[in-house]
Structure 1
Amino acid sequence: MIPVMFRTLNGHSSAFHVQSSGIMDLLTDLLQRAGLRRRLLDLRRLAVGSALRFPCERSIGLHVVTHGQAWVHAPQLDEPLHLQAGDIAVMARGCHHVLSTQPTLDQRRELPSAMVWTPPPAGEDEPAAASAVISGAYQLWNEPLHPFFREMPAWFVLRADSVPRLGPLALTVGLLDEEINRRRLGADTIVHGLLDVIFTYVLREIVAREGGGQPGWSRQWPIRRCARWSR
């Protein structure tokens, strides 16, 4: 695997490497023990010129763009992250940001915060929008924070053209978009489940792409010891 360096939220260059094992699925174990709580946020359609704040003090942010385009703004970014249809962005815990439909923001404007998603009544037409984005927040409440989450890249974008069009991740995004659009019986449960699947797929992709050859926490500690530490 080619060593990959990345900038963490704290500004440190680091690399992490997770090894799979027949004894234990370490990623699943970490997610179960990290006190992870998922919220699906009320951000489905963005009209032209709209923007929303995402305070992420204890949360990992997730944005899935299904139509149009959007920009992620944050003081730590040299320039806004441009997201297009099919792109998925993940922000590490503590990365406060704004999501908008334009590359520049009016700094004088007071922006609303994203709220918990409530599905509109079936059959109710939604207003025309420039972009459609599905967003989630994965709250990490347990301390101390596991090194896996501390060493996540502050900003990670999985581009639509970097994954197979008929691969499991792209198909899951399509299912998520369809369930939100059609709002059939049981859609709320399905939508939350699909969002979790996408989140886990992206974490797996982060490990695959950012995992480096340098010694990291997974090399310093055996898998079993690491699991005991996370309890």
Structure 2
Amino acid sequence: MDVLQDYLTRARASGGVFARSVADPPWGLRLPGTIQLAVHAVVQGRAWLWLDDPHAPVELAPGDLALVRGGPDHHLAHEPGATCLSPEQFRATHAGDTRTGGQPASVFLCGAYQFSGDVGRALVAALPPILPLSAAAGDALHDVVDLLSRELADSAPGKQTVLDRLLDVLLVLAIRACLQRSADPPRWYQASADPRLGPALSAMHTDAAHPWTVPELAAVSGLSRATFARSFHKTLGQAPLQYLTDWRMTLARDHLRAGALTIAQIATQTGYGSPYAFAAAFRRHHGHPPGQWRQQAVDRPAIDQPTTADH
């Protein structure tokens, strides 16, 4: 099991709204911080991206892209500090813009993603507020951006299916590049790349319901019990079985929130011998029984629900 793949699969990115814009300067676009994860790619011209401070912008050249995590509103414009319009105002203002004129138009792509549950929010939380990525010609990211731009400008049959697949590829490549280049990646990512810990971590993600023991996990990693426990705690900041419990609880919360499984089914999938054992463990972990927690999760906004950014 590829642990990053497990996160991506369980995060279930959806709502990949994407648009290709052509804008003659001056132009500026303001996007709300309620977008959980936005991606911007420049095809032609230049764009400047910033959060609260236009004096600290990120410049994007053709072929560059950036991921922007939800939080404050963010701004994309032809120059730092330009007046930025809402998406509706922007579309109305620049509906007739072309690639010709005194100053070359900017051509850029914007996408918005929503992730499901605590696993998805943990994945987004591992990203910085703004992550600029440069993709040279021949780089996979560059190729995908080029394909997206051409597909968005075309009206061939099956266009939406092609866009959906390309967006999935773009997102995975961008997140992978972020984690690979990060000076402080999440602990689970560091551990998954460690040949001493990766096998045990993969085993827990592959089969969270298995009654793992520390000696068993140590054997999977080819280490002594003491060496494995010490290395695991040093890298992940907690004992192996505590990590396993936290991961099981993360899965349980997502199952509870989705509402598709019964308490008994969730207990089985998360490694508890009975609904009663699961309910007791869940209450110890969260202070509420699972049924009550599920009702509260339904009643409160997703932004207020707990995340597991370190797992």
Which residue of structure 2 lines up, in the alignment, with residue 27 of structure 1? 4
CA–CA distance in structure 2, aligned partners of residues 196 and 48 of structure 1: 31
State TM-score, norm by structure 2: 0.54
The answer on whether the counterparts of 1:147 and 1:217 sit within 8 Å (CA) in structure 2 is no
Bigger Cα Rg: 2
- Tell me if 1:88 matches 2:49: no
SS at match of 1:103: coil
Which residue of structure 1 lines up, in the alignment, with residue 260 of structure 2? none
SS at match of 1:57: coil
SS at match of 2:52: coil
Structure 2 alignment gaps of length 5 or more: 100-104, 192-196, 209-246, 252-311
Note the alpha carbon deviations across 1:158-206, whole angstroms, 9 max, x for none.
113xx4x123222222211111222212222212221221111111111
Share of identical aligned residues, percent?
26
Which residue of structure 2 lines up, in the alignment, with residue 74 of structure 1? 51
Note the alpha carbon deviations across 1:87-119, whole angstroms, 9 max, x for none.
01011232420111222224xx7x21369x9xx
- Tell me if 1:143 matches 2:118: yes
Which residue of structure 1 lines up, in the alignment, with residue 151 of structure 2? 179
- Tell me if 1:103 matches 2:80: yes
Number of residue pairs aligned between Structure 1 and Structure 2: 193
| CA-CA distance at 1:41 after TM superposition | 3.5
The answer on whether the counterparts of 2:55 and 2:81 sit within 8 Å (CA) in structure 1 is no
The answer on whether the counterparts of 2:42 and 2:61 sit within 8 Å (CA) in structure 1 is yes
Of 95, 98, 103, which aligns to 1:128? 98
Structure 1 alignment gaps of length 5 or more: 1-23, 118-124
The answer on whether the counterparts of 1:34 and 1:140 sit within 8 Å (CA) in structure 2 is yes
Of 139, 146, 168, which aligns to 1:196? 168
**Which protein, 1 or 2, shows the higher relative CO under an 8 Å CA cutoff with sep ≥ 6?**
1
More helix by share: 2
More strand by share: 1
CA–CA distance in structure 1, aligned partners of residues 4 and 186 of structure 2: 18
Structure 2 CA distance for partners of 1:82 and 1:67, relative to 1, 3 Å: same
Of 82, 86, 90, which aligns to 1:112? 86
SS at match of 2:37: strand
Root-mean-square deviation (Å): 3.0
